[in-house]
Amino acid sequence: MAQNKKRHGALALLEFENVADGIRASDLMVKRAPIALLRCGSVHPGRFLVLVGGSVASTEEAYFVGVKRGESAGTLSGSVFLGDVHPSLHDAVLGTRREPAGDALAVFETRSSPALLAAVDAAVKSTPVMLSEIRLGDDLGGHALALMSGDLTDAETALGICTDRAGDQLLAQSLLPRLDNDLRRLLGQGTRFGPCSPFEPSGAEYPEEIACSWDG
């Protein structure tokens, strides 16, 4: 996937318990500061995510307006302000996906999207892992997912940083020391089931009774 041509100095992600307050907060944020409203919309189970970016000062100002709105309404379920967002995380959040590289793969899931961004930002700033994919909310029941790849030691360290940072927002994690090359190719397309292309590795069993054509 092509790289994003423009990077913002800072990102902020806010998660609201309902759509109405999320839209209201989005309106207040973009009216308060000259920021880019990068993505916003509903995710399961009825939450609303708002992702904004821009200069550090503008993004922070808009972020605090959104947080204040959510806290006053009691509907803010999570938030994160990344004043010095790592470039690879910036691009991954906006849709860039890379095929896993290196021997190991770290898979990390959280209960909320802001918690995932905070954890992964810390991990990629501290280790040379490659961020392969970020998913926020959609088709995950409101959860969030990150794939990080590299040498085993680096992947293990990154996973430990994410786990410590996420705290009680941690949902699940796994470390694959020697990622299968066929699985690597499929994960390079993304982790969604629907768009995944059918693939039969060489040597896969394919019984003749299944291979024959049906007569109806």
Structural domains of the chain in order of their starting residue, each with its CATH number: 10-82 (3.30.70.1710), 95-187 (3.30.70.1710)
Look at residue 170 and tell me whether its pLDDT is greater than 90.
yes
pLDDT of res. 192: 82
Cβ atoms 98, 131 nearer than 8 A = yes
Comparing 206 with 29, the larger pLDDT belongs to 29
pTM (predicted TM-score): 0.86
Q: How far apart are the first and last CA of the chain?
A: 42
| Rounded Cα gap, residues 139 and 141, in angstroms | 6
Least trusted range by pLDDT, from 14-28, 116-130, 163-177, 187-201: 187-201
- What pLDDT is recorded for position 89? 95
- The reported pLDDT for the residue numbered 88 is 94
| 61-84 confidence digits (pLDDT tens) | 999 999 999 999 999 999 999 999
Tokens of 213: 């054509």
Q: How confident is the model at residue 137 (pLDDT cuts 50, 70, 90)?
A: confident
Residue 47 is predicted with a pLDDT of 94
